[in-house]
Amino acid sequence: MANNIFEACKRMRRKNPKIPFPFDSFPIMGSFKNLNYGPFRENIRLFLQEFAEKFEDNAVPGWGHHFVSKRKYHLIIPEVDYWKKPLKDNFLDVRTHILYGLIHCNGYGHLICINGVKAPSNFLSETDAMNLWDRICSTLCTRKVSVRDEINLRLLYVVGYGQSWYGKWGYKFSHGTFGVRKGKYESAVEYLRSLNLDKIISDFKNKSRGGRIKQIINKYRGVVDIPLITLSDLLKFMLGFGGRARVQGKTENKVVKSSCQHVLKRRDNEEPTSFDALVTSIANSCRWPARRVEHVLKQIVNLLKQNKGGCDGNYGVSRYEMREELRKCVGDTGLIDFVLKSVNCFAIGNYVVRRSLNSSTRRFEFSIQEVLEEAEPDCQWPEERVEHASEVTANILTENSDEENTMPWRELQDKARECLGETQPIDCVVHSMDNPMIRNQSISRTRKPSTNKFELPIQGLIKDAQNDTMECSVAEDALYLYRSVLFGYRDTHPLSLATKAIMDSKYFVKEWCFKEHNLDPLIALSCLFLPSFDELETELMRPLSPAVVVAVPLSSTIGELKVVAQAAFRDTYCIMDKFVASQIGGLKKIDENKVVCHSIEPSSPVWVRGSGLDLGTTLRYEDGAQRLTVDCCCGAKYDDGERLATCEVCNVSQHTRCSGIAEKEGALSDFLCSDCVAVSRRK
């Protein structure tokens, strides 16, 4: 049967073929903006009068169990190079169009392909094209649109954001292949999203790729200001980072600026809060007296001193540990919590107490430092010179630290003198350090108890032969995690099974609902054809086709509704070209003299009985008259679009993948299903 297909109207083109329409407002333009929000089959006619030309071609199948629609509308934005050329005969098979969607006249359609324009101007991205498609469907009152998600590396997006890329426009899981159902898909997504990054590092620590996986995870943990705990946290940050920006360059700039900020703060003579001032400030903002606040602060100092004496280099105490220890000597947890959150940096005697964020654990810790006896020089150099000194410091510490990741201060000064010819800028930077991050390394200045000399311990130093991978782009890092983590476990591991379930979930659908308030003074009704019992048992054994939508005045009678419904069915489906409606109502006929608004709820389906179906036509169902019987070991009971092999004995079809047949093998003429193989073996 011939089918109407429509091409972009030439009269709407502008001198610049790359801007055929104002995409931000299309299709709400011209007389079409006066649309009355009626059924799709009526709206599309108005749309075609305004924007399109037509020609003839063959139909494209879809929505397999539906009756064959009389018209299918192809909405296409071809590639830029073809804007001034007519569409080729094979345009239905082309998947390089900027946008290609197909909608049946019953309002059900498919988004076949969508591609951004790969041009320097980037005048229409995939997101722009998708926004345009969504506006067209909404304006025309489309009912449902399906899409097959074939985006490269789509698994990364699902794990990062918890939905497919099309989910941003409301497309939800429709059905999977190889027996995957909605519950299995959602469980797989949740499992992968909640996978702990430390668990991944542990799983691969004894494998060849474990070093780089750990390196990538730690690199992004050092860049971002929020904790990256799960695989979802990491991938979401990477996908939103901004293309192929070099992370290492950003990290170094951040570190240098951080070091400079420490120096510049010293120029402003920023000092820790005095102990008495802190006690007064806290007491004035809480219900506890000053003496109790003072007692808690002194206990904090004592606990930090004890912890410092029992540790070698790392004096940090987590907030949880501090809280538990204070409860032993204070008791009032409300007071403890209030004081702990009020402490930032204060001085008491020859010590400075700080609360800071640990760069490796991403948790707040309390530490205490003894006031240095040496006079700390003020920084007298311009910012550019301080930045250079910070960079030299990073290089020296990275290349010359010992096995314990420490370096004596005097040795650092000697190395700096070789590079800069002087040590004063380095002294200014080092004296100003307060656990800054330099290339994923936490640097601090402490006095070693055994030698009573200052050293620079480096926490989290990465010494790996693959340090050059730090220069990899975000896209390369994401691709490595995709291949090495998501597809790096054994086939029977839960992660591999979850990955497989998501990869087998390709079909998504969006449903639009009628906005009844926009139809006033009309009422929108969904009319469902109800076949006779004989037709249901012998001819129409598949699920019923979707309802046709009609819009009638509120004052219409049931008899008038019957006439409108009959015309709508005839206009929509080939098999109902000569359909005659006999009654409104399913088992019980509704009096034709009654008013529609008093007899039918707008949200309820309207059953329509009648006769005159052309049961002899070959245009009965969209997927053809032949219906495969599918019974596969994966659980599939219908043709899900994957490659099938049909048993020559029982005519039951099974997936070739589930039957162990390679994709490269040709058509099989002697295939036997698993049940028939078992029967033949018993014989």
Alpha helices for 25-145 (secondary structure H): 40-51, 126-139
pLDDT at 321 over 60: yes
Based on the fold, state whether residues 31 and 105 are members of the same structural domain: yes
Q: Which residues contact 230 (CB under 8 A, 6 or more apart)?
A: 193, 194, 195, 196, 197
Based on the fold, state whether residues 448 and 560 are members of the same structural domain: no
Please report the pLDDT score of residue 4 as a whole number: 37
Please report the pLDDT score of residue 266 as a whole number: 37
Q: Which two tokens stand for residue 207?
A: 């494998």
Based on the fold, state whether residues 451 and 539 are members of the same structural domain: no
Alpha helices for 402-482 (secondary structure H): 409-420, 424-431, 474-481
- Rounded Cα distance between 142 and 638, Å, is 26
pLDDT at 407 over 60: yes
Please report the pLDDT score of residue 645 as a whole number: 85
Lowest mean pLDDT of 14-28, 264-278, 293-307, 363-377, name the range: 14-28
Lowest mean pLDDT of 50-54, 75-79, 129-133, name the range: 50-54
Give Cα separations from 48 to 42, 51, 73, 573 (angstroms): 10, 5, 10, 20
Give the residue, 435 or 6, on which the prediction is more confident.
435
Pairing of strands 351-357, 364-370: antiparallel
With bands split at pLDDT 50, 70 and 90, how would you rate the model's confidence at 446? low
239 in any annotated domain: no
Please report the pLDDT score of residue 265 as a whole number: 39
Closest C-alpha among 522, 533, 565 to residue 547: 565
- Rounded Cα distance between 544 and 608, Å, is 13
Single-letter residue type at 511: E
Based on the fold, state whether residues 520 and 667 are members of the same structural domain: no
Lowest mean pLDDT of 151-155, 192-196, 256-260, 482-486, name the range: 256-260
Based on the fold, state whether residues 584 and 639 are members of the same structural domain: no
Based on the fold, state whether residues 8 and 121 are members of the same structural domain: yes
With bands split at pLDDT 50, 70 and 90, how would you rate the model's confidence at 259? very low
| Predicted TM-score of the model (pTM) | 0.60
Single-letter residue type at 629: T
- Which DSSP helix (H) or strand (E) runs through 213? helix 210-223
With bands split at pLDDT 50, 70 and 90, how would you rate the model's confidence at 328? confident
Please report the pLDDT score of residue 41 as a whole number: 79
Please report the pLDDT score of residue 568 as a whole number: 93
Average pLDDT over residues 409-417: 72
Single-letter residue type at 658: C
Based on the fold, state whether residues 257 and 317 are members of the same structural domain: no
Alpha helices for 517-673 (secondary structure H): 533-538, 558-572, 596-599
Based on the fold, state whether residues 20 and 113 are members of the same structural domain: yes
664 in any annotated domain: yes
Please report the pLDDT score of residue 352 as a whole number: 86
pLDDT tens column, 208-249: 888 889 989 988 888 777 888 999 999 988 887 654 333 333
Which CATH number fits the domain that encloses residue 657?
Answer: 3.30.40.10
State which of 370, 399, 431 marks the end of a domain: 370
Overall domain count for the chain: 5
Average pLDDT over residues 126-145: 88
Average pLDDT over residues 356-370: 74
430 in any annotated domain: yes
pLDDT at 402 over 80: no
With contact defined as beta carbons under 8 Å apart, do 145 and 137 qualify? Answer: yes
With bands split at pLDDT 50, 70 and 90, how would you rate the model's confidence at 279? confident
167 in any annotated domain: no
Task: Provide the β-strand partners of residue 549.
Answer: 526
256 in any annotated domain: yes
Give Cα separations from 353 to 260, 301, 305, 323, 479 (angstroms): 22, 7, 10, 16, 44
Secondary structure (3-state) at 275: helix
Please report the pLDDT score of residue 199 as a whole number: 93
- Which DSSP helix (H) or strand (E) runs through 370? strand 364-370
Based on the fold, state whether residues 355 and 409 are members of the same structural domain: no
Question: What torsion, rounded to 10 degrees, do the Cα atoms 259, 263, 265, 270 define?
Answer: 120
- Rounded Cα distance between 196 and 107, Å, is 44
Please report the pLDDT score of residue 315 as a whole number: 57
Lowest mean pLDDT of 49-53, 134-138, 341-345, name the range: 49-53
Please report the pLDDT score of residue 466 as a whole number: 37
Based on the fold, state whether residues 296 and 262 are members of the same structural domain: no
Which domain, by its residues, includes 340? Answer: 286-370
pLDDT tens column, 7-21: 333 333 333 444 445
Q: What are phi and psi of 94, to 5 degrees?
A: -80, 135
Please report the pLDDT score of residue 621 as a whole number: 81
178 in any annotated domain: no
pLDDT at 398 over 80: no
Based on the fold, state whether residues 325 and 428 are members of the same structural domain: no
Alpha helices for 421-553 (secondary structure H): 424-431, 474-481, 494-503, 533-538
pLDDT at 196 over 70: yes
Output b/e per residue, 99-108; b: 16+ Cβ within 10 A: bbbbbbbbbb
Based on the fold, state whether residues 366 and 381 are members of the same structural domain: no
210 in any annotated domain: no
- Rounded Cα distance between 367 and 315, Å, is 6
- Rounded Cα distance between 547 and 681, Å, is 49
Give the residue, 467 or 155, on which the prediction is more confident.
155
With bands split at pLDDT 50, 70 and 90, how would you rate the model's confidence at 421? low
Helix/strand/coil (H, E, C) string of 628-644? CEECCCCCCCCCCCCCE
State which of 350, 370, 390 marks the end of a domain: 370
With bands split at pLDDT 50, 70 and 90, how would you rate the model's confidence at 465? very low
With bands split at pLDDT 50, 70 and 90, how would you rate the model's confidence at 35? low
Please report the pLDDT score of residue 263 as a whole number: 36
pLDDT at 399 over 70: no
State which of 418, 439, 459 marks the end of a domain: 459
* Cα atoms in the Cβ-side hemisphere of radius 13 Å centred on 308: 18
Q: Which two tokens stand for residue 160?
A: 């990062």
- Rounded Cα distance between 49 and 28, Å, is 14
Which residue's structure tokens are 């839960």? 494
With bands split at pLDDT 50, 70 and 90, how would you rate the model's confidence at 255? very low
Average pLDDT over residues 348-354: 84
Q: Which residues contact 117 (CB under 8 A, 6 or more apart)?
A: 18, 80, 98, 123, 124, 125
Single-letter residue type at 556: S
Please report the pLDDT score of residue 166 as a whole number: 92
149 in any annotated domain: no
